[in-house]
Structure 1
Amino acid sequence: MTVFAYLYTHPLLESAPPDDLWGAEVVRVYRDFGGDESQSGQSRPQLQQLLQDCAGGTVAEVRVRRWAELGNSPDAIAPIVTQLQEQGIQLTSLAEGPFPEGDVVAVVAATAAIAQQQRRDSLRLGHARNRVKAQPPPGRAPYGYRRGKDRYTLDRAAAPVVKDFFEQFLLFGSLRGAVRYLAKTYGKRISASTGQRWLSHPVYRGDLLYQDGRVVRDTHTPILGRDEAAQVDRLLRRNRRLPPRTASAQRSLAGLVQCQECGSTLRVAPVSRPRRDQTYLYLRPSACPRAKPCGAIPYDA
């Protein structure tokens, strides 16, 4: 009995896999290539040829990489699966195994998986098409931008907030400090992870980042200039070598200096004087081994 394989690829998303993917028993691989996405059945000539060749009664199995490659929707795939099963042909996916027969729950689950895979492929294709045209990827514009006709444009209300965030980080090198500044000054509350993403995201440097990781440079007006971006990258690299709390501490010397006498790390210790309504800062050893602990050092000095 004969074993066939069917392969569908889109040139914007991937290249054809090697022939040895299917196994030595496969005698022929039918290949269709994506193009116009308003596809009808006639746009997959090799799939139609496969179905005609299966009508001879000598085919035992048809292999595919994923069920989603048999059509553009679950409704388009269903009659193909039914036709092959009525002819007694086993339909096998390399990723998902044999297509279920008779088990309604399994068939529903397979249909849902097909729909999910096709949504992912549609999104990837949208990213790929926009990358070719140097247009923004699908989805909402990042904070600070609006989606224009074919590129991002600055949001006059939000862009100054992002710009001020970058300036605060460049001044003090503290991510959490810049996050606190936004909340206090603009009432814009973001998490530290969001702030980290803003600092490293290519979109704020005038570049576009697509789902496959490719970056297209100089596609729109940047909020962060190239020189400033280089400084941000240096600060981020420096902060990675420090403990997380130290890199974003309000006091820049926290955890960075040691006592010259005992070698203990110095911590910041505030001392309040209620009558004078003043607070003084000192650096004290966190774990001094001496019987008489080393004295505190005035932080400001």
Structure 2
Amino acid sequence: MRFANYKFSGNQSNIDEFILLGFTNFNNKIQLFLLTLFLFIYIFTILGNFTIITVATLDSLLHTPMYYFLRNLSFLEMCYVTVTLPKLLHTFVAKRKTISFYSCCTQMYCFFTLGVTECFILAVMAYDRFVAICNPLRYFTVMNKATCFKMAAVSWVSGNLISLGQTASIFSLPYCGPNLINHFFCDIPPLLKLACTDVSANQIAVSVTGFLVLPLPFALVLYSYGRIIAAIIRISTNKERKKVFSTCASHFISVTLFFGTGAFTYVRVRTSDNPDNDKLLSLLYSVVTPLLNPLIYSLRNQEVKGGLKKLLHQKVGIKEMKTSGNVISSDDMK
């Protein structure tokens, strides 16, 4: 495996490309299995989230705050896996597993923009459910269109600004070699290990940023779901109680998986002695969570199922009308 090309500036050399090792340490059979598995995950994630966006957009009954944020989340998840998985799939089949310096920078910026934005979107969604369950009479007053738009906009803008600062900080460091990134995408911890300078200040900055964008939104999620659980307990009907609790529990599991693995990676910046552990953690929040969210948030939801059936029936009806029209036209011609 060759090392990177170098650009020399004075006494310091700068790497112009990195090598992503991914999961190439496994034998060919396992790599083929992983290639098939990740390809299936990517296709299913894209189709599942695209279905949610389509149904929630076309069905007027789903034009509510909850599904407005779900559309944002689904779009995030589609972008999230697109940033990482195609490059991961490429490492399984390509002889040159390189990524240019600027492509690596762009990948990190996009990945953390989406990740930070998702943290805030998940917190906003928990607050939305809190208002809907605990203050149903004020729900549409509190969560009006303007408020929902502002919440989503603040989430996206914050994600971009935080990611821009962190990416600029990481890629302003000197990288002199080696250029082997023992990961499947350009992540902060493995890149800090390659910098040929003291990175303690960067590690502190990443930990502080990780604390602000992970535990604090998660604290809001915990507060919201705590109030929701208290409200569920007061529900008199056992059937309704089970229905609400089941929905909230599945949401909370997904959120905990995302925040927990993300916090363990970025609040604890120093990587473990076994890089495979770090890859596994990254897979949980960057691949598994986007895969599960369509199932947890919407495809198990009766309203989304109803909207999907309605759209399918409409398409079938349109096709039948067109077919019928074509037959009549043929008879008239005769």
Instruction: State the TM bucket, normalised to the shorter chain.
Output: under 0.3
Provide TM-score, normalisation by structure 2: 0.21
Higher helix share: 2
Larger radius of gyration: 1
Q: RCO higher in 1 or 2 (8 Å CA, sep ≥ 6)?
A: 2
Higher strand share: 1
Provide TM-score, normalisation by structure 1: 0.22
